[in-house]
Amino acid sequence: MSQYLKNLKIALTQEAFPIPEGRTASRQMSSGTANLYTVQGEEGMLIFLTYTYWHNGEEEVAVMDTIKAPFLNFLKGGSHRLTVAGSWKKGLKNKTLKVITLKLITPVKGSRGYTMSLRNAEISELNNAAKCNIKKTLISAGAIDVDKRELLIEDQGPSRNAICAIFPEDNELVPVLVFCLTRITPLL
């Protein structure tokens, strides 16, 4: 999996371990199962990501722990998790697809110093922050397309201009890469 990012090596290290009851992105309590990914960087940096399948139907990528990366500790606890949205059948011979919105982590100066916020960004901002062509990278990892929500999933709501990726439902690599490209790489 490491062929997708120059400065990070990503590997699936444990499959289907049980997650006791926890709070999901929608603030519901649920148990689930998760696959554990390790993300290795320079100078011994190690990040443990989980791709969790909650029993209430939600899916997400989140940081479980970090080693030699104290500047990323704020990512633990789920406040900056990546939620994988529901599936629908469209195109590709009626194959079930999933969608994720690419939100970029951004430092915001407040009265008590800097905090991190997630915000929508143009594709050029995403490319600069990720230090790669994000569309090309995600498509090479199995995404079907990367573009505005309005164009890909016919979103007419307030998020219609947000960049998203659509991908086959059995592909975990795309959401894990999106997490790394939008929440880790911009801070390195």
Nearest residue to 23 via CA among 15, 32, 34: 32
Q: How far lies 165's CA from each of 18, 85, 111, 172, in Å?
A: 28, 11, 35, 13
Per-residue burial over 60-79, b = 16 or more CB atoms within 10 Å of its CB, e = otherwise: bbbbbebeebeebeebeeee
What pTM was estimated for this model as a whole?
A: 0.91
User: How much is the pLDDT for 92?
Assistant: 52
Lowest mean pLDDT among 8-12, 73-77, 101-105: 73-77
Q: Are 18 and 31 in contact (CB under 8 A)?
A: yes
